[in-house]
Amino acid sequence: MKDKLVLKEDHVYELPKEGRMRVPGRIYSSQSLLEHPGMDSAIQQVANVATLPGIVDFSMAMPDIHWGYGFPIGGVAAFRTESNGNGMGVISPGGVGFDINCGVRLLRTDLVEQDIRSKQKELIDELYNEVPAGLGSKGKITLSDREIDSVLSIGAKWAADEGYLWESDLDVLEENGCIENSSPENVSHYARKRGRKQVGSLGSGNHFLEVQKVDEVFDEEAAKAFGLFEGQAVVMMHTGSRGCGHQVCQDHLDCVLRASKREGIDLPDKQLAAAPLDTKEAQEYLGAMSSAANFAWANRSLISYATRRAFSNVFGGDGKSLGMDTVYDVSHNIAKIEKHSGEDLCVHRKGATRAFGPGSLDIPSKYRSFGQPVIVPGDMGTSSYVLSGTSGAMAKTFGSTCHGAGRAMGRKAAFKKFDSKDLVKRLWEKDRIYVRARSPRVVSEEAPGAYKNVSDVVDVCHASGIANKVVRLKPMGVVKG
């Protein structure tokens, strides 16, 4: 598939429309990133997405693209919400993924690197104790039937009402931490059961809680607006809707696939199961997915609460006195109805992040001159980034950019290649990064060598104008499942 790509401009490759494709593909990348193993399969998925009814402009992929379920991870696609002669658009669970509203939240602090270094192991151990993590891990509270309904309905607002989150935090969460068209009634009993004990937990795999330092500032004005400065200590968390979201996806796949067949949608891959947006199946999935997204915002909110408590236990004072405000919270596995060029579209971002540009009324007023903060995690041994959304992203990618480094190696291959004990030892002795993990296997699977170079990914986004570099972050301590 790579040999079909045509370089249209710097870092923008086009996959020409052919066969059943309704639109061309468009991939933001570089020659070196396109050389990673498995890229042909991911590009084929870009072509497959382009066959879905009602798709607008392009089937897109960000520079962290790799193979996923149905859609490639790093995939972006927008679909019409009304038929205009070119067909009604669809919604596809494969364009969201199983971990609905997997996302990233960044907390700033008034502490600096030396403050952390003086109590580095003590702090990470305290975070490890305060925040449950790992496969099947349970949070420290169990939600009642009434509470799970509230979480599914109002998301982070529930956490604020219960005292786990500051009211000021809500202003800097994507969608203010709640999609209002959620429909908890379309979330199954089993999905609720799986989520009831997991709110406030990290999960396993690529999910983490990381204490970082601001290593380099690229855009002084934007960094100041975001509350960031060189040498500052910050905390990044990456997790989603846990078992609740996974079950929501699982519960609706068969229904949506049956709707695909009933509506005569010719799928190149059944993992692309998609239902026209005006069908009962589509609306039920969209409502349930929105409810799971709300669960994820509540989940990250309880982790924020536990993080502030851990810092307080180690450094004294409280979250307020330590300056632990939320910078922003972004989603990267979600489908939402958004207005672009005056038209309501259903925008799927699967392993891609919203990156709305300056002037957008959908981002907090204090950031509006600079664009939405975009939080891009790398791997636990190198770096992460904070970017800002751009007008270029609004014009080219429906306000979307990359979500992370993107895997360069499968989990099984990484497990065979990297020894967890050696890796933890090296990260501490060479880089002074202290790692606490529930599972040695996860350390091997999440080794820095299993990921693409996040700086290469971010540089493509910056150079192609779909994000602006603001700061680079370096890890000091990591909690993994």
Q: Catalytic residue at 462?
A: no
Q: What are the angstrom distances between the C-alpha of 219 and each of 79, 196, 229, 372, 468?
A: 34, 42, 10, 14, 8
Q: In the chain, what is the greatest distance between 2 CA atoms, to the nearest angstrom?
A: 65
- Residues 238, 252, 332, 403: which is the catalytic one? 403
Give the Cα separation of 48 and 44 in Å (integer): 6
- Residue 393's SS3 state is helix
The DSSP H or E segment spanning 405 is none
What's the length of the chain?
481
Cβ burial, residue 6 (10 Å; 0-12/13-18/19+): exposed
Tokens of 346: 């259903």
Tokens 């990673």 identify what position?
36
- Using an 8 Å Cβ cutoff, are 357 and 389 in contact? yes
- Using an 8 Å Cβ cutoff, are 77 and 71 in contact? yes
Cβ burial, residue 167 (10 Å; 0-12/13-18/19+): exposed
Written in H, E and C, the secondary structure of 124-178 is HHHHHHHCCCCCCCCCCCCCCHHHHHHHHHHCHHHHHHCCCCCHHHHCCEHHHHC
- Using an 8 Å Cβ cutoff, are 287 and 181 in contact? yes
Q: Say which DSSP state 327 is in.
A: E
CA angle 347, 5, 344 (to 5 degrees): 15
Would you name the residues annotated as active-site residues?
403
